[in-house]
Chains A and B, each alone.
Chain A
Amino acid sequence: MYAQMITAEASDEDPKLLEEFQARIDRDEKIEPKDWMPMAYRKTLIRQIGQHAHSEVVGQLPEGNWITRAPTLERKAILLAKVQDEAGHGLYLYSAAETLGVSRDELVELLHEGKMKYSSIFNYPTLNWADIGAVGWLVDGAAIVNQVALQRTSYGPYSRAMIRICKEESFHARQGYHAIMQMAFGTPAQKAMAQDAVNRLWFPAIMMFGPSDSESVHSEQSMTWKIKVRSNDDLRQQFVDQTIPQIEYLGLDLPDPGIKWNEERGHYDYSDPDWTEFFNVIKGKGPCNVDRLNDRTNAWEDGAWVRDGLLAHGRKKAAARTAAE
C-alpha cells in the first residue's frame, strides 16, 4: 500500500476536494485519519512522522552508550527512565504514522534499507559523560522548540502525540541541564568535559532545525498545509536565544566566536553551521551513521527468532481457544 501511495500522481486529485481541504487547514481544523487528504499531504506526513519515530528509536543508542557507565545510581536511573520515554515516543509516533496507512514494520524496513532518515544529531558520538547532559539540554532542548510548534500541526494524531511527548521532553531537558551544571560547577576535569561537550554538540544541535529556509526543499508546501507551522530559521533563532544565557550561566566559553547580541534585531547573531557537513551526515557520512544503522539492523535480525517465536505461540493459543469453543 505504501509503495502505491508514494507513486500516486497528485495531479489526479479533484481540484474541488483540494480546495475544500485547504479551506479546512486555513480554518485551523485538525485533519483526522478518515478524512480525505491529498496524497502528497499523506506522503509528507508519513515521511516526517516516520523520521521522527526513527529518531526516537535510534536516539536510544548514543544514550545507551553511557547507561552502563553512569556515575551514580540516581543518574543511571534517570537515564534509564529517559531512554524508556524515548522508546515510548517511538511507539506513539509509529502509531500516529499507522493511521496514515503504513505499518510500523514497513517503516522500519525503509529505515534499515537506508530509504528513510532519522535526525542527523544521532550520528554524532557521545564521548564523555557531559555529552549525556548536553544531549538532554541541547538536543532535547532543540527538539522541544520544534515540537512545541508541532503541537499545532494540522494532522490530529501527530499533534496529539506531540502534546504528550513535549511533557516528557521538558523533564529530559531539565535533567540534562542539571547534569551538566553539576559538571560545570564541579572539578576542573568535570568543567573541561562540559566545555568539550558544548563545543562538539553546539553546531550539530543547531543543525537539527534543518537547512536554512532558502535551502529547505520541503518547507513551503508543508507550511501551506500547516504540517510545519514555523520556519527552520525562526525555530533555530529561538533556540539560540534561549540557550546562550544558559551557557553563560554555566560559566562555559561560547562554542561559536560569531555569537553576539544584536540590539537592532533583538536576537543573538550566530555563525552558520557547516552545511556541507550537515548534508554529508544526511547522506550517511556522519561519524556514526554506519554503526548506528548496523546496530539497529543487527538488533532487528538477531531478534527475528524472538518475534517469530512469540507470534507462533500466539497462533497456537488462538487455535487452542478456537478448538475449545
Chain B
Amino acid sequence: MADNALFQFLLRMGDNSLILGHRVSEWCGHSPVLEEDIALANTALDLIGQTQFWLGLAGEVEGKGRSADDLAFLRDAWDYRNVLLCELPNGDFGRTLMRQFLYDAWASVMLGRLMTSSNERVAAIAAKASKEVAYHVERSGDTVVGLGDGTEESHARMQAALDYLWPYVGEMFDGDEVDAAMVKAGIAPDPASLREEYDALVSKVLGQATLTIPTDTFHHKGGRTGYMHTEHLGHLLCSMQWLQRAYPGATW
C-alpha cells in the first residue's frame, strides 16, 4: 500500500502541473501583450519541467518500467489524478490568470511543506519547484490585483472568473486514504492542514484586487481521485496524446 499510495500522490502532483502547463501553453501567440506571451510560455515551461520530475519519480516508484512520457501520453482520463481546477478551459485571459493564482497559491504552500518531506527525492523536487512557484504566485497575484482593481470591465471579468472557479478550489484540500498514508510516512502533509495558510494568502490578494470571495462553501470533486473528471479533460488528452497514440512505439 505504501508504494501505491506514494505512486498515487506523485501522480497527483505531476498531473496537476502537466494539465495546467498544457492549458497555459494553449495561449501561445494569442495573449493580450507580448510580455504576457513570454510570461505564459515561461510558466508553462516551468510546469512541464516539474511534471518531468514528478512523473519520472512516479514511474520509478510504480516499478513497472513506465517513464514520465508513458504516464503522460498513454493513460486515459480516468487514470489522471489532477484536481479539476487544472483541467478547466482557459476562458478569457482573466480566468486563466485567476485559475493560475488559485493554483499557485496552493502550490506555494504545498511545496513549502514538501521541502521537509521524509522522502529525499520528494523534498528535492519540491525545493526546486518552489523557487519557480514563488515567482509564479507573485506574478499571477500581481496580475489578479491589477485587473481586479483596474477598470470597471476588468473588475467585472475578474469577479466572474473568481465566481466560476471558486467551487473548484475546495478539492485541493480534500483528503483520503492516500493522504493518510503520506501523512503517516511523513512524506506529505494532510491537505486540509494547508487551508489556513492558503486562505490567508488568497484573502489578502483578492482583497487588494477588490474582489469578493463567494460565500457558498460547496465544492466540486473527482479529479484527484480520478472518480469523475470534467468533460474537458478528454479533449485535452486527444490533442496532447495524439502522436503517441497514432504512432505507437515511435521515438521522438
Contact = CB atoms under 8 A, between A and B. Distances in A.
Given A80-B41, A80-B48, A129-B252, A302 B92 contact: yes
B32 A307 contact: yes
Given A80-B41, A186-B250, A91 B157 contact: no
Sorting the interface of chain B by its residue count into under 10, 10 to 19, 20 to 34 or 35 or more gives 35 or more
Contacts of B32: 299-300, 302-304, 306-307
Interface in B122-173: 143, 145-147, 149-151, 153-155, 157
Contacts of A182: 251-252
A113 interface: no
A47 to B, nearest CB: 20
B211 to A, nearest CB: 13
Nearest to B23: A68
Interface in B24-49: 25-26, 28-38, 41-42, 44-45, 48-49
Interface of A: 57-58, 60-61, 63-64, 67-77, 80-81, 83-84, 87-88, 90-91, 94, 104, 129, 179, 182-183, 186-187, 189-190, 295-296, 298-300, 302-314, 316
Nearest to A105: B33
B243 A77 contact: no
B243 A310 contact: no
B242 to A, nearest CB: 6
Q: Tell which of A68, A307, A314 has the most Cβ of chain B within 10 Å.
A: A68
A31 to B, nearest CB: 26
Contact of B250 (A88, A179, A190, A308): A190
B48 A295 contact: no
A81 B244 CA distance: 22
B239 A72 contact: no
A299 B31 contact: yes
Given A84-B45, A94-B34, A104-B34, 20 more contacts: A63-B28, A67-B28, A68-B240, A71-B73, A72-B69, A72-B73, A73-B51, A80-B48, A83-B37, A87-B41, A183-B252, A187-B250, A302-B32, A302-B93, A305-B151, A305-B157, A306-B147, A308-B151, A309-B154, A310-B150
A305 B69 contact: no
Nearest to B52: A73
21 contacts: A69-B239, A71-B252, A74-B52, A74-B69, A80-B25, A80-B44, A84-B38, A179-B252, A182-B251, A182-B252, A183-B252, A189-B250, A295-B30, A298-B30, A302-B32, A303-B33, A305-B151, A307-B32, A309-B154, A313-B149, A313-B150
Contacts of B38: 84, 87-88, 91
B109 to A, nearest CB: 25
A186 B28 contact: no
A203 to B, nearest CB: 25
Given A73-B48, A76-B25, A313-B146, A307 B151 contact: no
Contacts of A90: 34
Given A87-B38, A87-B41, A182-B251, A68 B25 contact: yes
B37 to A, nearest CB: 4
A186 B150 CA distance: 53
Contact of A91 (B35, B42, B69, B239): B35
